[in-house]
Structure 1
Amino acid sequence: MSSFVLPDDGTTEEPLDAPAPASPPLAAVLRRGLLGSLLAAAIAALVLEAGTLGLFSPRWAKDLFFDSGAFFLDTLVLWTVIGFLWAVLGRMAWSLALVAVTTVVVAIANLVKMQYREEPVYPSDTDFLREPEFLSSMVSPVTLVAAVLLVVAVLVGVLRLVGRIERRYPRPRLRTLSRDHVLLLLGLRLGVGVLTGVLLVQAAHFNQPGNMWRGLYELRGNDWRYWNQKTNYRSNGFVGGFLFNMPVDAMAKPQGYDADEMSAIADRYERAAARINAGRTGSLDDTNVVLVLSESFTDPTDLKGFSLDHDPIPRTRARMAGTTSGHMLAQMYGGGTANMEFETLTGQSLGLFRPQMLSPYQMLVPAQRDYPSAVGWFRGQGHDVVAVHPYKVGMYKREQVYQRFGFEDFVHDTTIRESGTIDDNPYISDHSAFDEVLAQIGEHDKPLMVNLVTMQNHIPVDGNYRDPLHVKGADGDEAKRIGQYARGLEHTDEALDEFLGALQKSPEKTIVLFYGDHLPGIYGSSVKHANDDMALHRTPFLIWSNQPGQNVARPVPITSPAFFLPLLYDVADAPMPPYLAMLDMVRRHVSALQQGRLLDAAGDPVKESALDPEGARLLADMRLVQFDFSIGQRFAVKRMWPGAVVE
């Protein structure tokens, strides 16, 4: 008697000992694989486009499908990936399953990142895979569980679909094929593997001159909207935008760059520094220098669309009114902490790098033996140099970056003296972080340069505090997030005031730069639409000294972190090196600088082509010096910023 089982697709029963379905002709299998993989690539491209939230907008749909044809090019790239996987694995169904699951994971990650940081997934984001705990903390447990369930559901669904396809269209068994057909199939796999492999290598070098893929994307003209990566991905397709951000040299070699030109620039700014320093009577040689990047510290009362029941930062506002202060132009909304820290410590601007240089901490500094920075400069001036960041050492490769800069000590989450938190906030409090700085100052005999990057106000902020501020004008979860965030700011405001008060009583000379790095990614569409782009990229800063006469009310036009160090030297009335003299001169013509945007001396937008001749020359000099210091031959480092490189 024959045994019967019910197939999982519910079709007619078949005996277990029934003969296997006859293998279809090889040509039919290849034709089905060709068309099926192309359809799968198109579906994967659609899923990725939807992950940018632009697919359903008529404007972006028109751009993707009709004007630029980016969707079809994205499909072609993904089809190439599927072809390569088939050539390697030998199973089309497995290749499709792998691409399907990867596509869903990337699309979910992109949606989450767009929500919190207003930017898409970049190739450099793969570094964060080493920090799964941090990634999981960025989303609520409900969202994380839903995402995992969705990925599992897609995986199960794809595997079931693969099973049905392989039962309905079984692969030809090699032993049933003629020798000529076997050789044809193996040769085809080899040929497809070589061809697709070459094409994928080309894709990996997307930004190299003459690249084939980039040429296809630019057939309609160059429309890379690097100043707004969200728009860039929506206009050029997710895959196109992703490839545009593949690794590339940090800067193009500026015209005229050579040893003679850099010597002439060094001469020019040595003379400029001598003129600036001639009337200065202060010094930082015996002064502690504390640089504080306060995570997500902003002034929410500057924003329209809601109101708080009271001002969360009155003490900081009062300090700002009595010293050099103003607002900084943040590079990003919801992120970019390490980039603002990089600009502050190096005086180099992200706006002068290529737009693909999204994170120098991940993409530039670790690959070098050393790197010019304020760390080396102050160390060479007799300071001890310490970094404090109450979080994991791997974030943004800080451990490697701090070593390249020349920090002598790095205090992090497991080595900090105090690790106190407030209420249910999982991050170490600003009060604990400031206490660490005070302890470092107290135990060092030499003057100290300390770079503190706090964590208390990092997102997510949901449910951190038991007494959030009351919010009017916003509803639901958004109001709760704003109230929680504002309460965190109030804790920072109190901690900063206590910290400066302690320094005021200290016999040691100390100067402090305090700045917020970006707005948190907590605001909904109504608040974003109620505010212009500048308001969403503006954070407070102040420079305060405990020395009599140095805190003079001086409002500064909106600026960039690259110009903080010259401002600090101004407050101290201290002589500055030629490099900082150059940055100070640039700031007086270009108050702020970022990718796609320049602000003039008054803080108003201006095109580079519209700068006055002196401003244009100064910016050109800054570009040459930045190339020289970053990836050039460093002809001018020893003359313009002596000691900036720790050898």
Structure 2
Amino acid sequence: MTNTAIDGDESMITAAQEADTRGNDVQGIHDDRDDHDDHDDHDDHDDRDERRWFKFHSKPFPGWLYAVFFILFDLAAVAIMQWGVSQSSTRVKLSSPTVGWGFVTKMWTQGNFVLVLNLLLWGVIYLIALMLINWFWIATPVFLAIPMILAVIEHFKVRIRYEAVLPSDLSFLGSNKGSLLSFMPAGAWRTIVGMVAIFLAAVVVCFLLYRVDGRSGRMVRFDNKGMGICVRMLLVILPALCFGAYISQVSTVGSWAKAFATALGDKPSMWDSVYDAQRNGPIVSFTRQLNPRIMERPADYSEETMAKLAERYQAEAERINKTRSANMTDSTVIYVLSESFSDPSRVPGLKVNKDSMPNIRRIKSGTTSGLMLSSGYGGGTANLEYMGLTGMSMANFDSSLTSPYQQLVPGEHWTPTINQMWGAARFSEAFHPYEASMYSRQTNYAKFGFSHFYTLTGDDQGNDIIKYQDKIDKSPYVSDAATYRSALEEIAKSDDNQFIQIITMQNHMPYHNWYKDNDFTAESTDPAQPLEKTETTSIETYQKGASITDEATQDFLDQLDELDKPITVVFYGDHLPGIYETAGADANNSLALHLTDYFIWSNKASDSRGSNIDNDAYSSPNFFVAQAAEHMNAKVSPYLAFLTDMHERISAMEPPVVNSIQGWDRIPEGQSLYLDRNGKPMAESDFDEQTRQLLADYRLIQYDITAGNNYLKDSGFMTLPGQ
């Protein structure tokens, strides 16, 4: 007899021996002497008694059948989780992923095996449960309870907030348990009761299978108990280590885990957490965000280094403030991120019949303005938005960090943004005529310190619904005029100075001949390379939309001019629309396809009306706050003093750019793009000593805030004079 025996085999051997020696006595008379000789453990007596009771009523399941059951229950876990996020929604969405049965069929229709990746991840958890409990028919319902509970939570969160469960939600398990009730929609008890019923049905199925399984479901058994425990622990530790290694590496570009997930079909879609979970599976999208690689730690990073840095820029702020007389927070500052706004006439190889932005062109000529270097093309809005609100640059982040709003901000302990300079949350409001959950904005804006975030869907309680939602002709998006009107009413009724964030949606892709009486035309400058019909339609539709934005923006500024309080507007297009296929085919057009328009304008009640600062021809959104302070002649904090100095040396900076809509796997490869004040690219290897020092300081500052120990938090580095 070998040292290792599976229960079913031992049962069969025992039954055969007893049949030979004592005949066909089905009552199963106990042989106490043999039992005491073979096993002293009381649990073994119980197991053998039970096996004798079943020995003529059941046969042990073969090993292959256990494997089949393992796969079936593993599939059940994946299906349950997909149910949690695959509900239909009446809310508008940019696109609809393949869900339901399509999650399976895309293996042979698209060659996408992300289902297999989900099965592997859940399978590891299943295996660990089996080894810990060591009884198949007990461990299985325990395992199934995990996805059932998580699926119900996903179901509730998607219904309430149209947002999947994120790693940041783990905070609810700590000090915010009471907030879990905010995820409970009306009629939640029906879902809970239904899932409990399904779980009980699974328990019954497992019990019946246990009763007919002559093996009783015991997984691992050794005569030597210590050996059995060691083997089981090994089968727990090894899968757990593999799972942990996967989580720690899957967010890092170039890692084995990232390559493995990509090969099986993981396609990050991080602008929409529900879409991402539907498309790739909740466990895949969740684990991808658990351990993002943010930045490489600077070699000289330390508390002493950061203290000296803060002291250095405190002195620089004092120097700058000697020539400035205003306070930024004595005015209302409005950031307008105009979706996809840019000048079609600047696109290489494109001939247009008339100007789409005559008003904005005129506004730019009389105030601080220029071209903004964008990291995105046809997408990446939230990254530009993040840079504008924080003053930090995507160029400093690791290439694996493609979306700070999803991968970084939810887990940050300290998230300084420029609206916080105005003090209490009631002085910060935001407007966006779309889903509150897109790019996790609802969660992030609360963290940034905005008291209200007005959207189409509002907050969890149905508040903060944006007031005006008019659309133009066949366009599916709220017009810029309606968005401006919603914001203007809130600005006008407040006597306080505020920070206002506006993100428009009117010119979002796609463009399908939406507008009536559209007399804009576009054609190629090269007769030998004419535009395709779909490209022409998209461009001409976009031109009309841009002209409508131009008129609405002029009207918005005119109404701000009528208000008797100082207001400064920072207006910028986040990126070009991803419709210029002909121009995009030429790599030499990369820079041109990443330059949008921006201006900084002040109303009649402002002392800075008509200001036009030096070095404004080129910029990037991380420098806007420093430029706004200079435009307003406003005093600066040490942080704004640093950004002011940085902008003097590098006018614009972004990570490498590409002529296609950027995916969500990584920031494009190559050197970061740096522009001088004339818009000429600069090589980092050619920087002088002062520029090198500033860039090194930038990385230290950004690392301390996003990935470091927050040494700057209590140093006054972000504090304006007089605060």
Look up the match of 2:194.
none
1:401 to 444, 448, 465: 444
- Code of the residue aligned with 1:475 in structure 2: it is E
Look up the match of 2:612.
552
For 2:340 and 2:450, how far apart are their aligned partners in 1?
24
Q: What is the Cα deviation at residue 552 of structure 1?
A: 2.8
Q: 1:78 to 1:604 in 2, by over 3 A?
A: farther
Q: After superposition, give the CA deviation of every residue in 1:501-526 in whole Å (9 maximum; x if it has no partner).
A: 22223322111100011122223255
Tell me the TM-score normalized by structure 1.
0.66
Look up the match of 2:392.
348
For 2:542 and 2:239, how far apart are their aligned partners in 1?
49
Q: 1:201 to 1:525 in 2, by over 3 A?
A: farther
For 1:374 and 1:429, how far apart are their aligned partners in 2?
27
Q: 1:275 to 1:362 in 2, by over 3 A?
A: same
Q: Answer whether contact 2:369 2:599 (CA < 8 A) is retained.
A: yes
Look up the match of 2:37.
none
Q: 1:396 to 1:208 in 2, by over 3 A?
A: closer
| 1:642 paired to 2:719 | yes
Q: Answer whether contact 2:412 2:706 (CA < 8 A) is retained.
A: no
Q: After superposition, give the CA deviation of every residue in 1:431-452 in whole Å (9 maximum; x if it has no partner).
A: 1111122212211111121011
For 2:395 and 2:368, how far apart are their aligned partners in 1?
24
Report the aligned-residue RMSD: 4.6
How do residues 315-334 of structure 1 correspond to structure 2 at under 5 angstroms? 315-334=359-378
Q: Answer whether contact 2:294 2:401 (CA < 8 A) is retained.
A: yes
For 1:216 and 1:420, how far apart are their aligned partners in 2?
45
Name which of structure 1's ranges 591-600 and 454-463 shifts more when overlaid on structure 2: 591-600
Look up the match of 1:472.
523
Look up the match of 1:361.
405
Q: 1:354 to 1:185 in 2, by over 3 A?
A: farther
Q: After superposition, give the CA deviation of every residue in 1:336-378 in whole Å (9 maximum; x if it has no partner).
A: 1111111111111111122222212112222235521111112
For 2:243 and 2:552, how far apart are their aligned partners in 1?
52
- Code of the residue aligned with 1:392 in structure 2: it is E
Q: 1:176 to 1:365 in 2, by over 3 A?
A: closer
Q: What is the Cα deviation at residue 333 of structure 1?
A: 1.3
Q: After superposition, give the CA deviation of every residue in 1:457-514 in whole Å (9 maximum; x if it has no partner).
A: 1122213212332222323111111111111111100001111122223322111100
Q: Secondary structure of 2:328's match? A: coil
For 2:371 and 2:116, how far apart are their aligned partners in 1?
45
Q: What is the Cα deviation at residue 601 of structure 1?
A: 2.7
How do residues 599-638 of structure 1 correspond to structure 2 at under 5 angstroms? 599-602=674-677, 603-637=679-713, 638=715
Name which of structure 1's ranges 574-583 and 259-268 shifts more when overlaid on structure 2: 259-268
Q: Answer whether contact 1:368 1:404 (CA < 8 A) is retained.
A: no
Q: What is the Cα deviation at residue 268 of structure 1?
A: 0.7
For 2:694 and 2:503, how far apart are their aligned partners in 1?
31
Look up the match of 1:509.
566
For 1:395 and 1:181, how far apart are their aligned partners in 2?
46
Q: What is the Cα deviation at residue 129 of structure 1?
A: 11
For 2:623 and 2:580, how far apart are their aligned partners in 1?
29
Look up the match of 1:564.
624
Look up the match of 2:176.
none
- Code of the residue aligned with 1:489 in structure 2: it is A
- Code of the residue aligned with 2:556 in structure 1: it is F
- Code of the residue aligned with 2:337 in structure 1: it is L
For 1:503 and 1:369, how far apart are their aligned partners in 2?
36
Q: Answer whether contact 1:518 1:538 (CA < 8 A) is retained.
A: yes
Q: After superposition, give the CA deviation of every residue in 1:16-75 in whole Å (9 maximum; x if it has no partner).
A: xxxxxxxxx989999xx9xxxxxxxxxx9xx9999799xxxxxxxxxxxxxxxxx9xx99
Q: What is the Cα deviation at residue 396 of structure 1?
A: 1.2
Q: Secondary structure of 2:505's match? A: coil
For 2:242 and 2:521, how far apart are their aligned partners in 1?
56
| 1:598 paired to 2:641 | no
Look up the match of 2:511.
461
Q: Secondary structure of 1:451's match? A: strand
Q: Answer whether contact 2:583 2:589 (CA < 8 A) is retained.
A: no
Look up the match of 1:101.
none
Q: After superposition, give the CA deviation of every residue in 1:187-238 in whole Å (9 maximum; x if it has no partner).
A: 99999997666434322221699x9836999xxxxxxxxxxxxxxxxxxxx9
Give the aligned length: 501
Q: 1:244 to 1:482 in 2, by over 3 A?
A: same
| 1:379 paired to 2:423 | yes
Q: 1:530 to 1:390 in 2, by over 3 A?
A: same
- Code of the residue aligned with 2:345 in structure 1: it is T
Q: Answer whether contact 1:587 1:601 (CA < 8 A) is retained.
A: no
Q: Answer whether contact 1:331 1:340 (CA < 8 A) is retained.
A: yes
Q: Answer whether contact 1:251 1:353 (CA < 8 A) is retained.
A: yes
Q: Secondary structure of 1:639's match? A: coil
Look up the match of 2:575.
518
Look up the match of 1:166.
none
For 1:303 and 1:408, how far apart are their aligned partners in 2?
39
1:416 to 466, 472, 479: 466
Q: Answer whether contact 2:366 2:610 (CA < 8 A) is retained.
A: no
Q: 1:630 to 1:84 in 2, by over 3 A?
A: closer
Q: Which runs of 5+ in 1 are unaligned?
A: 1-24, 34-43, 54-70, 91-126, 135-172, 218-237
Q: After superposition, give the CA deviation of every residue in 1:254-285 in whole Å (9 maximum; x if it has no partner).
A: 22222222221111111111111211233334
- Code of the residue aligned with 1:597 in structure 2: it is S
Q: 1:51 to 1:493 in 2, by over 3 A?
A: farther
Q: 1:643 to 1:249 in 2, by over 3 A?
A: farther
| 1:448 paired to 2:498 | yes
For 1:361 and 1:212, how far apart are their aligned partners in 2?
22
Look up the match of 1:295.
339
Look up the match of 2:483.
433
Q: Answer whether contact 1:345 1:373 (CA < 8 A) is retained.
A: yes
Q: What is the Cα deviation at residue 579 of structure 1?
A: 0.4
Q: Secondary structure of 1:205's match? A: helix
Tell me the TM-score normalized by structure 2.
0.60
Look up the match of 2:74.
none
- Code of the residue aligned with 1:621 in structure 2: it is D
Q: Which runs of 5+ in 2 are unaligned?
A: 1-61, 71-102, 131-135, 137-156, 165-208, 223-227, 261-279, 459-464, 525-530, 656-670
Name which of structure 1's ranges 614-623 and 457-466 shifts more when overlaid on structure 2: 457-466
Q: Secondary structure of 1:490's match? A: helix
